[in-house]
Every structure is written in C-alpha cells, then in structure tokens.
Amino acid sequence: MSAGARVRRRRRTGLALAVVVLAVAIVVSFAKQRETLRGPAAKPLPGPALRTLAKDDHILLGTALRDEPLRDEPGYRKDIVREFAAVTPENAMKWDAVEPERGTFKWGGADRAVDFAAEHGLKVRGHTLVWHAQLPGWLTDGNFERTGLLHLMTGHIRREMGRYKGRVPTWDVVNEAVADDGSLRQSLWGKELGPGFIAAAFTAARKADPKARLAINEIGAESIGPKSDTLLRIVRKLKQRGLVDEVGFQAHFNLNGVPKTMESNLKRFAKLGVDIAITEADVALPDKAGPEALQAQAKVYARLVRTCRAVPRCKALTVWGFTDRASWIPHNQPGFGRATLLDDQLAPKPAYRAFQDALRGS
C-alpha cells in the first residue's frame, strides 16, 4: 500500500470512530434526559404509611396533585398511592385550566386526576369553583354586568360539578372570600356581586350535586382575629340554610409556626356543626437556612397534626404537595423552597418522621 493510501485509510478510520463516539454520546444524553423526565425513584420510607396512621386517627390524609409529575414521574405516583388517601388537583380544576377560552373546555388535567384517584381508591377534593385568582382572561376582562356574571358563575359550578358528579365527594366551592381585615375581599365576585355571591355559589353547588360535601376554604384564617371572625359569621349563616358542610383552613405556614389560637379557633367553627379540614398545609423555609431549620420545620408540621387531632371534627388534612420537586413555594415565593415532607429526590426530611410521630400521638 502506498503512503497516500495509508493516510486516506487512517483518515477514514478516524472519521468512522468519531461518528461512533458522537452516536454513543447522543444516545447517552437522550437516555439521561429521559431519566430526568421520569423523575427519581420512590425511596423506602420508614415505618407505617402516613395514610394508615391518619386513618387510625379518623383523619383523611391528602396531598395536592400536580399534573406534570402525575403524567411523567412514576416515583411521584408511587409515593402518593402509598402515603395518601386523597388528592386535591392543585391547578387542573381551576377555571383558567378548564375553560381557557369562553365555551372551549379542557378537561384533560382534571380528568387525569379523577381517573388516577379512581384507579387507586383515593378520594378527590375538588378545587376550586369560585376564586379570585386563576380566572381566564375572557372572564376577568369581559366587563360583564351583574346578572350575566352571576349566570356565568352558577353555570361554571353546574358544569364542573356535573361532570364529576358522584366521583368528587368534596368541593371547595368558594375560596378566599375574606380579606385580611375581615372585610369582603374586593375580588371580581365580591366587587361585582357583593356578599350574596357566596350563598348563590353554594346554592348552585348543592343543586349540581346534592350528595357532595360543600366546603368554604380560607387562607390565613387559622388564628382568632378579624378574618376568622367574619368567616365564622359567613359559615353560621350558610349552615343555617343547610348550604355548607365543611370549613377548610389552608395552613400555609413558615417557621413562625402554628398560631397559638388555632385549636380554639377550629373548635369554635366545629361548634357550628360543620366539619373542619386542613386543606393546603406546608411550611416554607428560606433556601439559605441551615439544617436546624429543617428541625424547626418538623416541629411546625407536628404541631399542626396535633392541632387537627385535638379537634374531633377535624376530619381531613391535606398537604400542599409532599415533595419539594412539586411544590408551589419555590416558583411563587423565590428564595423559599423546601416546604414539604420529602426533598426533591423523594427522600424523607425530618418533617416526615415528625408528622408520623404526631399522627401516632407521640
């Protein structure tokens, strides 16, 4: 073989090698991407499942459910089925998700949540029918007059509850109606329809699914104060008309902890003859906080569980996500993550064990 031919052959071999290396690199990177897409595997968790311990306390234990990891992450799904007895679709049932354009309905996420729950024997908390946030633009910018708006509100309730009749046993009918100072929140609903929108929504909901349990859900009303005083008056009136079955306290906490008056507050609501639910519990931590913050967080979770156990009518407790990889906190409150029981790799944090111990009564 001539020197020229040898050089050409070496070049060809080199090129072929480079192509093989590139192909392998592409395959490995695709495989890695797919692994990320599918999320971490569920980790072994110590002791009995939380749902079992909660059941012994007559508490239905739930978690917020996100559509993306529900679709993509087997570990996420596995943990839910193992640890929880109920799910609350975190965003999939909100008005902007189900009717982004007027008259165009997208039930994909909501259906997925309800089907997943049915497949695994989990209860669903419908969330949420009448709220001031996550409303579609056509509704907020529509300048509807009073009667038209009322009609849209009751129509939305009828349609959504009707679709899931018999499959969603509890609904957050009205969410966050009261402002922090105890006045009616000046939302689209409060501003345009006045305080009567609340009873109108509950009346429509009762009619839409007479067997469903109807809840009013509130944020920041855990302690005794102007906000919970107003809520108490609203609930008393609704209860007198047979329109409400349950009051939801969201319990979005941080390291300031559970308010001292929470237990007595829940008890005064229970006295009205309604059930109590903790509906969106989490405990936000600054990202920069050290390991001692995780211990402090564990104490807040434990205290919350004990508070629910101390109120006989506190029948449900839902955490607003159970893993840091699917929690609203980092996205909506940048600088604050790590608010849930498991870390972003699904490994238990001190809060998980503390939650377990508190459910056991220890």
Instruction: Please give the residue ranges that form the binding site for ligand G3I (CB under 6 A).
Output: 90-91, 133-134, 175, 219, 250, 280, 328, 332
Q: Which residue's beta carbon is nearest to the bound ligand G3I? A: 328
- Closest distance of CB 332 from ligand G3I, Å: 5
CB nearer ligand G3I, residue 123 or residue 236 = 123
- Closest distance of CB 21 from ligand G3I, Å: 37
Cα distances (angstroms) measured from residue 234 to each of 33, 200, 257, 276: 51, 13, 27, 15
- Closest distance of CB 220 from ligand G3I, Å: 10
CB nearer ligand G3I, residue 45 or residue 342 = 342
Question: Is 83 part of the annotated catalytic residue set?
Answer: no
Question: Is 263 part of the annotated catalytic residue set?
Answer: no
DSSP label of 333: S
Q: What is the rounded CA–CA span in Å between residue 217 and residue 89? A: 15
CB nearer ligand G3I, residue 67 or residue 343 = 67
CB nearer ligand G3I, residue 250 or residue 297 = 250
> How many Cα neighbours within 13 Å face the side chain of 94?
17
Catalytic residue among 73, 90, 176, 246: 176
CB nearer ligand G3I, residue 269 or residue 328 = 328
Q: Are 207 and 163 in contact (CB under 8 A)?
A: no
- Closest distance of CB 249 from ligand G3I, Å: 11
Q: Are 215 and 277 in contact (CB under 8 A)?
A: yes
User: What angle is formed at CA 320 by the lines to CA 354 and CA 139, rounded to 5 degrees?
Assistant: 165
- Closest distance of CB 66 from ligand G3I, Å: 8
- Closest distance of CB 228 from ligand G3I, Å: 16
CB nearer ligand G3I, residue 161 or residue 359 = 161
Cα distances (angstroms) measured from residue 232 to each of 129, 178, 271, 356: 20, 11, 10, 31
Count of C-beta atoms within a 10 Å radius of residue 334: 9
CA-closest candidate to residue 157, choices 95, 213, 225: 95
CA-closest candidate to residue 280, choices 51, 91, 69, 45: 91
| String of DSSP letters for 159-190 | HHHHHTTTT--EEEEEE--B-TTSSBP-SHHH
Name the residues annotated as catalytic. Answer: 176, 280
